Amino acid sequence: MTTRYEAIHESPNGPGDSRPTALQIIQDEKLANKLTNKKILITGCSSGIGTETAKALFTTGATLYLTARDLSKAKEALGDIATSDRVHLLRLDLDSLASVRSCAKEFLSQAKELNIFIANAGVMAPPEGRTADGFETQFGTNHLAHFLLFNLLLPALLAASTPSFNSRALFLSSVGHRLGTVQFNNLHFKDNYDPWAAYGQSKTANLWTANHVDRLYGSKGLHAWAVHPGGIFSGLQRHLSPEAVAGIAEDPYLKTVMKTPEQGASTTVWAATAQALEGQGGKYLEDCHISKPFDVTSNHWAPGYGTWAYDVEGEAKLWEKSLELVGLKQ
């Protein structure tokens, strides 16, 4: 049932309330030690919801491949699970496509199949900058690096799929996708950088990528979802001013909808494991259910997807442009 958790999210009461945690999802799905033959890759596992996603999925018995730019920081954040022989740490700097290729090569040297791919890592509203390959920081990090990693691991995802457990690819998007669609005429915001519009573009790109992956590969047993984890105080806010952070903390509406990292990881874990989603994909998820359209009369930060979330033409255009930018265009 894809609406199992919908009602409990209708009256939130702040971090730590009765909304589910990632571990509760595993318990509800009765998956403790049930995925011992599965392999899962998660990016961004040195803090925040990436760490909590890994800890919850570890309890399924799956083998985890966890990426981070700083492996020492990841080991510290992951705690005891980092020493398990089921946990493999891979260095990945999403600022560099060379690092992405190196990470993919390292994974494929250890495993030929991958059941679940989770593009979790991200950056939000940094000062204007460029990646090592010359891309606007958020578009390059949040979208293009994950796009390349997914495509390099695609054969492993297809190889792992079975009729009883289709492979899944998750791309973390955000309510921030409503801040801006993809600016095809100026993808890198040259001469007109707006950190929030650029963030919105990158999160729309994550959403569109998930939709298009499902369209291309759903019939081959690989399904994809875009996931909005909700509002969580984490390292994602590191580029915000103290005043901006205080504004979030004091906003009457946001006070109620913010989540703990453990709650923030719940939608990702639900998307990765829920039996109710088996054989489906190509949708935007939030609060552990399939999202509905945004109600423009509601609060600015209320749930719901933007008007361009399911732009089939835009998705296809972005896919082709992304292939070109990461060097996969034939």
Q: Which domains does the chain have, with CATH numbers?
A: 7-325 (3.40.50.720)
Percent with pLDDT over 70 in the chain: 95
Tally of CA atoms within 13 A in the half-sphere of 115 that contains its CB: 19
| 11 exposure class (CB count in 10 Å sphere: 0-12, 13-18, 19+) | exposed
Does 239 have pLDDT greater than 60? no
203 is catalytic: yes
8 A C-beta contact, residue 6 and residue 289: yes
Report pLDDT digits (tens) over 78-106.
999 999 999 999 999 999 999 999 999 99
User: Cα separations (Å) of 293 from 285, 303, 309?
Assistant: 11, 8, 9
| 76 vs 67: CA distance, rounded Å | 13
Radius of gyration (C-alpha) of the chain in whole angstroms:
18
| Cα distance from N-terminal residue to C-terminal residue, the chain | 42
199 is catalytic: yes
Residue with tokens 């990945």: 92
Determine which one of 39, 55, 203, 259 is catalytic: 203
Does 237 have pLDDT greater than 60? no
Note the helical H segments in 163-304: 195-217, 242-250, 252-257, 261-264, 266-273
Report pLDDT digits (tens) over 241-250.
676 666 666 7
| 41 vs 49: CA distance, rounded Å | 14
Crossing angle for the helix pair 145-160 and 195-217, nearest 10 degrees? 20
CA dihedral 184, 190, 191, 193 (to 10 degrees): 80
| pLDDT given for residue 76 in this prediction | 97
Q: Return the closest-CA partner of residue 239 out of 103, 123, 116.
A: 123
8 A C-beta contact, residue 290 and residue 43: no
Amino acid at 188: H
Give the helix, strand, coil percentages of the chain, each rounded to 5.
45, 15, 40
Determine which one of 96, 173, 291, 322 is catalytic: 173
Determine which one of 5, 199, 284, 305 is catalytic: 199
Report pLDDT digits (tens) over 42-61.
999 999 999 999 999 999 99
Does 240 have pLDDT greater than 60? no
8 A C-beta contact, residue 56 and residue 319: no
| 178 vs 134: CA distance, rounded Å | 25
Q: Return the closest-CA partner of residue 257 out of 8, 24, 48, 9.
A: 9
Report pLDDT digits (tens) over 296-312.
999 888 999 999 999 99
5 is catalytic: no
8 A C-beta contact, residue 322 and residue 144: yes
Does 236 have pLDDT greater than 70? no
